[in-house]
Amino acid sequence: MKWALKRFCLERDYIMFLIGINTGLRVSDILALKVSDVKRKKRIIIKEGKTKKTRTINLTNIYDEIQSYAKTVDSKWLFPSRKGDKPISTTQAYRQLQKAADMAEIESVGTHTMRKTFGYWYYKQTKDVAQLQKILNHHHPEVTIDYIGITDEEIENELNEFVL
């Protein structure tokens, strides 16, 4: 998917996707970012639009790509629309992700896919549902478990290998 965005879409769309899959931010919070929010910063603090909670976002692993892109943006918005002084819409973000997904022959991609992808892979690498719950600002661990799609089969497979 990353290669399809890089090859067939604007750098803007690639960076949006990169931020999404590496931070777990909702697309509305990604699109609300301004260049000044990320310029020369490896950590940013945002107020989430949905929950109104403050969240610290670590951008260290994608810092260089964000900085390189931010230097090319001629707008206060990190993901500017061509239609005036505003960011692209969630609808436009969806269209660009869908275009890349079609090129990569991936089905069922939406704007929330980035957040779920982050959650899934964070869990796969850390196995820490409590920490992921905190990162995603979920109220209950059940929401996080449903969100990342842990199946009974996966639990069974893990238990088959578990020995003390």
Is position 95 annotated as part of the catalytic site?
A: no
SS3 68: helix
Active-site residue among 50, 52, 71, 83?
Answer: 50
Active site residue 50: yes
User: Which one is catalytic: 12, 14, 26, 123?
Assistant: 26
Of these residues, 12, 115, 122, 123, which one is catalytic? 115
Structure tokens belonging to residue 102: 């079609």
Token digits for 97? 């992700």
Q: Given 6, 34, 42, 112, which residue is catalytic?
A: 112
Is 147 annotated in the active site? yes
89 touches 32 (CB < 8 A): no
Q: How far apart are CA 46 and CA 57, in angstroms?
A: 8
Q: How far apart (Å, rounded) are the C-alpha atoms in residues 12 and 66?
A: 10
138 is catalytic: yes
Count how many residues are written for the chain: 164
- DSSP helix/strand/coil, 163: coil
115 is catalytic: yes
Looking at 69, 122, 123, 147, which residue is catalytic? 147
Show which residues are catalytic.
Answer: 26, 50, 112, 115, 138, 147
